């Protein structure tokens, strides 16, 4: 049973460490009211042509760009980094325009297929209608607050759904300036709601919507999936990872170390597809580690000026604790820290880019998601061993293979059990959304959130089966061949 008691939530500024933002968590009655309002508004939104909805999404992109600075400032206060906050806001506008461009091409204006003849019954024809879920719910995490709040909600809107979004309670300041962008777009204002809150708010959301999209940890994702299953509503889950990279002997060492470093420490490693395990051919291992360590030592922190430095702080204090625990476990089991390794506390909490050697799969740092800028490196003796190590995980979100050529890397990439493999780069080449992927293992559930087909997650298929001849009579099957009578007589 979901609690209806409201909770006052405090949010911390990730850069200076101060608690300077508070809000009341939405309860079940708030969710019920919001979803009821969305259900009233959704039919008119769904009745628009796909092109008309696309035009409205384009106007929202314009409004976000006009409100760019206040949204960036809110994101920066919550996350402690400036340039990635700029990239998030610019990316949100691009995502809106991308779907505004793609949706009319993917979905017909009538949302209905042409009639086809049945191959089984000569007189039957059939066609499908695509019907949007009335209200789709979204629960998003704290590492990329606006990106992951909108990445699934935008195609849902393009498909004709109303949407209700609960961002992480750790990073929800952006909601206020983002809502300002909807004031002059009444068509959208009626079908978009944000609700602030913690896990209780998320639980109430699942109880009210027609489908749910969740991005976050495996333990919470399991709870979301179980709650959705109890209600028989679809769940689309993008969960944790422990992404490997295999670096083959033919790899260009400068390019490989650049790719691995960026893939591991972007956003201080607080990325679901961060590189968290590095497997390097023993023939190049020593030189690879030497170059990687030199580059990792040069990564600067933005401890003083938020607009300076290469890397921001740990956004969530509890994640910093996980990083510290993984480092302590690795060292206790014999790992060597080549650089970094000490958390920096200067208001916020920073973890320098940290390279480790002497690691094994008995260590938490090689098995559990760290979600921090930790780069454990192991040597391998042959490619079969590398593939075995890469696949020795319960996760399967993404991974990478780096070789001298794409042609050499692809056969190895084909053997890695993950939804998306970057070839001769890391981080799904930072990041294209055109391909489709399905996560393996504990890393996700449901259809691809990438690629043009991802919009189909938000549509139900309705079939029209049309009889063009005379309906069959009740005795038709018995009259054809008389098999039943013969059997009885025998």
Q: Which residues are catalytic?
A: 238, 272
**Three-state secondary structure string covering the chain:** CCCCCCCEEEEECCCCCCEEEEEECCCHHHHHHHHHHHHHHHHHHHHCCHHHHHHHHHHHHHHHHHCHHHHHHHHHHHHCCCHHHHHHHHHHHHHHHHHHHHHHHHCCCCCECCCEECCCCCCEEEEEEEEECCEEEEECCCCCHHHHHHCCHHHHHHHCCEEEEECCCCCCCCHHHHHHCCCCCHHHHCCEEECCCCHHHHHHHHCCCCEEEEECCHHHHHHHHHHHHHHCCCEEEECCCCEEEEECCCCCHHHHHHHHHHHHHHHHHCCCCCEEEEEEECCCHHHHHHHHHHHHHCCCECCCCCCCCCECCCCCHHHHHHHHHHHHHHHHCCCEEEECCCCEEECEEECCCEEEECCCCCCHHHCCCCCCCEEEEEEECCHHHHHHHHCCCCCCCEEEEECCCHHHHHHHHCCCCCCEEEECCCCCCCCCCCCCCCCCHHHEECCCCCCHHHHHHHEEEEEEEEECCCCCCCCHHHHCCCHHHHHHHC
Angle (CA) 180-187-108 rounded to 5° is: 130
Distances (CA, A) of 111 to 42, 101, 130, 198: 16, 16, 5, 37
């Amino acid at each position: 049973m979901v609690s209806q008691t409201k909770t006052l939530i405090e949010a911390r500024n990730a850069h200076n460490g101060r608690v300077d933002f508070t809000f009341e968590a939405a309860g079940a009655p708030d969710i019920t009211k919001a979803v009821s309002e969305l259900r009233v508004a959704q039919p008119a939104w769904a009745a628009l042509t796909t092109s008309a909805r696309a035009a409205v999404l384009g106007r929202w992109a314009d409004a976000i760009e006009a409100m760019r600075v206040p949204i960036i400032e809110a994101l920066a206060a919550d996350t402690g980094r400036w340039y990635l906050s700029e990239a998030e806001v610019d990316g949100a506008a691009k995502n809106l325009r991308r779907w505004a461009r793609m949706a009319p091409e993917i979905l017909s204006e009538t949302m209905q297929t042409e009639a086809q003849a049945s191959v089984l019954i000569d007189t039957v024809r059939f066609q499908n209608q695509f019907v949007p879920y009335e209200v789709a719910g979204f629960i998003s995490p704290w590492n990329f607050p606006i990106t992951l709040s909108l990445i699934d909600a935008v195609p849902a809107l393009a498909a004709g759904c109303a949407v209700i979004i609960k961002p992480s309670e750790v990073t929800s300041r952006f909601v206020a300036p983002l809502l300002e962008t909807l004031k002059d777009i009444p068509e959208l204002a009626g079908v978009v709601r944000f609700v602030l809150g913690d896990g209780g708010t998320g639980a109430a959301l699942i109880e009210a919507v027609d489908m749910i999209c969740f991005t976050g940890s495996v333990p919470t994702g399991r709870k979301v999936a179980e709650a959705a299953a109890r209600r028989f509503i679809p769940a689309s889950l993008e969960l944790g990872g422990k992404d490997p990279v295999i670096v083959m002997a033919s790899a260009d060492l400068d390019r490989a170390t650049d790719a691995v470093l960026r893939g591991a420490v972007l956003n201080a490693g607080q990325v679901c597809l961060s590189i968290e395990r590095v497997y390097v051919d023993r023939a190049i291992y020593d030189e690879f580690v030497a170059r990687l360590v030199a580059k990792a030592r040069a990564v600067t922190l933005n401890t003083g000026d938020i607009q300076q430095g290469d890397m921001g702080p740990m956004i969530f204090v509890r994640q910093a604790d996980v990083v510290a625990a993984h480092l302590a476990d690795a060292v206790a089991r014999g790992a060597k820290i080549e650089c970094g390794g000490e958390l920096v506390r200067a208001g916020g909490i920073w973890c320098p880019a940290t390279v480790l050697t002497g690691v094994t799969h008995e260590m938490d740092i090689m098995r559990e998601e760290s979600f921090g800028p930790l780069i454990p490196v192991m040597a391998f003796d042959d490619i079969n061993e590398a593939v075995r190590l890469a696949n020795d995980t319960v996760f399967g979100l993404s991974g990478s293979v780096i070789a001298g050529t794409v042609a050499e890397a692809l056969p190895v990439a084909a053997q890695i059990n993950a939804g998306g493999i970057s070839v001769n780069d890391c981080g799904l080449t930072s990041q294209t959304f055109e391909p489709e992927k399905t996560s393996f293992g504990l890393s996700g559930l449901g259809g691809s959130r990438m690629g043009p087909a991802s919009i189909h997650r938000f549509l139900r298929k309705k079939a029209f089966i049309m009889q063009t001849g005379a309906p069959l009579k009740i005795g038709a099957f018995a009259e054809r061949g008389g098999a039943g009578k013969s059997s009885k007589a025998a």
